[in-house]
Amino acid sequence: MNEFHSDFEIVAREDFSDVTFMLEVRHPMMARAAKPGQFVIVTSHPDGERIPLTIADFDAARGTITLVIQAVGKTTLEMKETCRVGTHLYGLAGPMGIPSHLGNSKKVICVGGGLGVAPVYPQARALKESGAYVIGVLGFRTKDLIFWDEKFRNICDELIVCTDDGSAGLHGFVTDGIRKALEVHDDIDEVVAIGPPMMMKACCDATREAGIKTMVSLNPIMVDGTGMCGGCRVKVGEIVKFACVDGPDFDGHQVDFDDLMVRLRRYKEEEAAATKRWSETCRMTQV
């Protein structure tokens, strides 16, 4: 992909599982400008789809940003095959979105489920640097899918790792980790939860009765990332918001997660067809 003459060079890659991988991309200006909670719009090649990805880490000294990607559709499956160290991304726009508001919380639970572990990391680090007591709760389906637990141990005062099958850490979901933390700490000021919509909704349900402020990061369908297309609209309370310019962070107790999940399923058939066409093309080129 070097023939595209892009400056967005991939300088490091790590595969966490068969479907989840990390890319470190050189972009000095963005690395200096990025804040926790923001995202970028990525295009892997000239004819590629524009996809939003949360900035999982940034290093101004190295001049790089880090993206963690799950290969679940045509574009991300293609990126898993083509994005290697030394290649370049065709387009990288950002940082976009409103940075996470750190506030004055003294004790915070930072929750990441699956791929959501990556974007909650810079928020947990920023909260720790601001002087907060940070409790990390990370959830994975099984032990083999765990990643970045050591990174979290380095910045968290406490860390609870949960696995659905009990193969590591606490046997249960992130909501069980939240409840475990709340049993010990009765002075939690805030919960930050990032992950699949169903997981974030469950986290909000777990904190609602106690009245603990719970912020979530939403990932609706997005096209341009500037509020023009309206594809990323979400219902927060009785108000329609655009995740790209009003978020992506919102008060989880106000988010209409049922509406969000319906919208996320809207193009499933088209996505499946695109993935099928790409897979068939790949098989033909490999024959």
Domain of residue 83 covers: 2-96
| Residue 135 belongs to a domain | yes
Long-range contacts from 174-180, C-beta under 8 angstroms, 24+ separation:
174/111, 174/112, 174/113, 174/137, 174/138, 174/139, 174/199, 174/202, 174/203, 175/202, 175/203, 175/205, 175/206, 177/111, 177/137, 177/138, 177/139, 178/109, 178/111, 178/137, 178/203, 178/206, 178/207, 179/206
| pLDDT tens by residue, 191-250 | 999 999 999 999 999 999 889 999 999 887 777 777 777 778 888 988 898 888 888 999
| Residue 222 belongs to a domain | no
| pLDDT tens by residue, 49-59 | 888 888 999 99
Name the pTM for this structure.
0.87
Same domain, 123 and 164: yes
| Residue 151 belongs to a domain | yes
| pLDDT tens by residue, 155-180 | 999 999 999 999 999 999 999 999 99
Question: Which CATH number does the domain housing residue 30 bear?
Answer: 2.40.30.10
| Residue 249 belongs to a domain | no
